[in-house]
Amino acid sequence: MYKRSSELFAEAKKVIPGGVNSPVRAFNAVGGDPIYIERAEGAYLYDSDGNRYIDYINSWGPMILGHAYPPVVDAVIEKAKLGTSFGTPTEVETKIAELAIKMVPNVDKIRFVNSGTEACMSAVRLARGFTSREKIIKFAGCYHGHSDSFLIQAGSGAITFGTPNSPGVTQGTAKDTLLATFNDLESVRLLVEANKDEVACIILEPVAGNMGCIPPQNGFLEGLRRLCDENDILLLFDEVMTGFRLAPGGVQERFGVPADIVMFGKVIGGGLPVGAFAARSEIMDFLAPIGPVYQAGTLSGNPLAMAAGLAMLTELDQNRNIFKSIDEKTAYLHKGIETALAKHEVKHTINRLGSMISIHFCETEVVDFASAVHGNNHTFKEFFHGMLENGIYIAPSAFETWFITDALSYEDLDKTIEVVEKIARDL
């Protein structure tokens, strides 16, 4: 069924570390060899062995309107005919900046980079420069890319320093990164009190997606906002996943909680490599060339990427019913999967917010990283491969959210629910 994909993976391992350019693609968490995709259209992926899959990863979020979405593809083609990169300012950069600022609350200016990792790394540097403080607070289970400051695991208690969880990350970096528990305001308050006037920013995925989908509990985001205001700390929302997906203005709009700096990726690039960070003018004007905080990128604002992003955001801005549509499809899927798993008494918890959803194979409520790891990984592996063999592609990790696209039909959703019930009989 996957003969050609396995052959391609064997070839790749000879010249690419682990055979992949991003670790989760290697299927290490679920076993077996990854499938190799040749093309995609709408809600479907087509692999090198001729198999078709209903896609619930959607390039890890960007394809909110489906793969090969014609306005995005056309925009890239037309821009490519004029040249692929100039290393100079282009008008399309200003156009997408104006549209993004129009859609997102509480921001005056935006800087484009090439990835979500770059956006988060740059935003933290900006926060440190603006506040003249060095420490940051992050949350266990929230992923902000592979910059050194973010690859930190827990220490022995709520007010201890984190320690590196990747070789190459120094102890010096770790001492400036403080680790809190998601959805636990008290853990944050203790860190702030123990490091008075030293914390530059609190950074989080306001709706977590890298320990499965975990929404903020009532009052959590509001409490963080108050803590930041009371202690002159900047609040950073990593909306690489949620931006332009959970609402036109992302989490800030959906929950009504303002951030000081917001980071974007995925949807904002229309599927091309784009990241961005945005804030009010007094913060953004600390950036070079007008401010002291340095940040640069040779391919930042690449015209192809900007054209793709502008086409995507234009469609989302002009047709805001899309957000209602994908929320309704996700709710329908949730209900169907819930019924199928419950019918066969499979232990599970389903988390959902908007068009993000995940299944945790445990009975306990999943509100943070510690509760997420209680899921039965053996059950997830069986579930993953059962879905794959039946033409459904989900993330090859129990700790990743699914991303719903508006290209999915209700027929696709019904087929998915039928497959879940089929698999549930043997779990």
Q: Please identify every residue annotated as catalytic.
A: 143, 238, 266
Side chain identity at 382, as an amino acid letter?
Answer: E
Q: Which residues contact 241 (CB under 8 A, 6 or more apart)?
A: 61, 205, 207, 209, 265, 266, 356, 401, 403
Q: Is 180 exposed, middle or buried (0-12, 13-18, 19+ CB in 10 A)?
A: buried
> Do 326 and 64 contact (CB within 8 A), yes or no?
yes
Residue in this structure with the two tokens 């499938």, named with its chain if needed = 35
Residue in this structure with the two tokens 């896609």, named with its chain if needed = 55
Residue 319 Ramachandran class (φ > 0 left, ψ -120 to 50 alpha, else beta): beta
Comparing C-alpha atoms, which of 136, 132, 128 is closest to residue 152? 136
Instruction: Identify how many contiguous H helices and E strands the chain contains and give both numbers.
Output: 14, 16
> Do 32 and 385 contact (CB within 8 A), yes or no?
yes
> Do 186 and 221 contact (CB within 8 A), yes or no?
no
**Which pair of tokens denotes residue 417?**
């629910």
The strands making up 349-353's β-sheet, listed across from edge to edge, are: 349-353, 356-360, 402-403
Comparing C-alpha atoms, which of 315, 263, 290, 304 is closest to residue 111? 263
Pairing of strands 163-164, 152-153: antiparallel
* Rounded Cα distance, 15 and 335, in Å: 44
> Do 201 and 124 contact (CB within 8 A), yes or no?
yes
Comparing C-alpha atoms, which of 340, 376, 370, 336 is closest to residue 352? 336
Q: What are the CA-CA distances from residue 205 to residues 33, 162, 215 (Å)?
A: 30, 18, 9
Q: Which residues contact 393 (CB under 8 A, 6 or more apart)?
A: 35, 45, 53, 54, 55, 56, 57, 387
Q: Is 207 exposed, middle or buried (0-12, 13-18, 19+ CB in 10 A)?
A: buried
